[in-house]
Amino acid sequence: MISSFLEKIEEVQQLQKRARNLYLFFMFLFFISFIYSIESNTILCIILAICFTPVVLTSYAVFNNILLKKIDSVLLTHLNVKPYLEIINAIGPEQVGKKSIFSKSNYYLRITLAYFLLGRVDDSEKALENVSNCLKRKEKFLTSYYYLRSLIAMTRRDKSHFEETYNSLIEISKKDEAVKSVVSIVKAMFDIENLNTNDYFDNLDSHNNLEKIIFNFFKAKNQLLLRDTEGAKKTFQQIANENPELFYVREAKKYLEELAND
């Protein structure tokens, strides 16, 4: 499975080139039409040329969005972290002389998540520092940035760092209703990590396989706090059979071993 994803890196790069070439071709046609309309003083051609521009730009954006979803499915659906990193690094903006479908913020947020999922917290934190330099120009990434920052703070048991990050998320949620669910998730994680029960994950629906693992992990830890040992075992077992590269999978196995020895 892993090797098959690695082989698709070149395919992704080829798709990226095709999208860019298609965009350039359409822009060439636009300029030809525009120049012709000016020289011939044809109003219809001018109108068509103007209408053609947003169509081209939208088509290019849609293609890139589809490509991004395909790439992200390697991690979110198939749970293959290392192949995902290979693909991101192969087409990311840090590749000298290559254009990328990723902005730097977009790239480093994905790298941060991948490193964190591997349990490489130091590397994850370093990658996230690169995002902070672009935040003023890329406010749409703030929620993801603070979410990842809160995960790192929890892992490091850094309460002051977490509270600062959590408060930033609350401020964003006042302007964006959708962020309130992220605030609730982070709050529940923090409660459980600090040995306070929180049943938020008990009935929370996941959007992909990765979310399912993370939500089940904290659900199982909450079950332990409630002394529901059998329930915790069953929930941890749902995680333990997944890709062992994932930090949460390895931790679930540790809990199962400890519970088996009790």
If you write DSSP's letter for every residue of 169-223 in order, what string do you get? HHHHHHH-TTHHHHHHHHHHHHHHHTT----TTTTPPPSSHHHHHHHHHHHHHHH
As a whole number of angstroms, the distance between CA 68 and CA 110 comes to 11
**What's the rounded Cα separation, in Å, for the pair 86 and 75?**
11
Cα–Cα distance, 262 to 259 (Å, whole number):
5
Whole-model pTM? 0.80
CA–CA separation, 163 and 138 (whole Å): 23
Q: What is the pLDDT of residues 10-38, one digit of tens each?
A: 555 566 566 667 667 766 766 766 666 66
pLDDT tens-digit series, residues 78-128 = 999 998 998 888 877 655 445 566 678 888 999 999 999 999 999 999 999
